[in-house]
Amino acid sequence: VSIIAFTLLHFIGDTNMSIASVLPYVSMAIAFTAVYLLSKKSFAYAWLSHAFNNVVSVVLLHVTTMETALLTF
């Protein structure tokens, strides 16, 4: 249930729910659920894993955006 909820919550308002766009979220949901279960059901570790994933995503997005801006300048 949590894997489905996690995946669907990331698609609120998005009309493109293809397999290619859903698969990364399902994979992350499985990974975060595994972290939760392996940490003896500690929500903190799952939350920190999700936060770390978001930080990495934002940094990579920022770096690639800056590279694109520099290349087009």
The reported pLDDT for the residue numbered 25 is 92
Residue 46, burial from CB neighbour count under 10 angstroms (0-12, 13-18, 19+): buried
| Distance between CA atoms of residues 44 and 71, nearest Å | 40
| Distance between CA atoms of residues 12 and 7, nearest Å | 10
Which helix (DSSP H) or strand (DSSP E) does residue 44 occupy? helix 43-72
Stretch 59-67: mean pLDDT: 87
More confident residue, 22 or 52: 52
Stretch 13-37: mean pLDDT: 90
| 61 token code pair | 């997005």
Q: How confident is the model at residue 38 (pLDDT cuts 50, 70, 90)?
A: very high
The reported pLDDT for the residue numbered 65 is 84
Stretch 27-31: mean pLDDT: 96
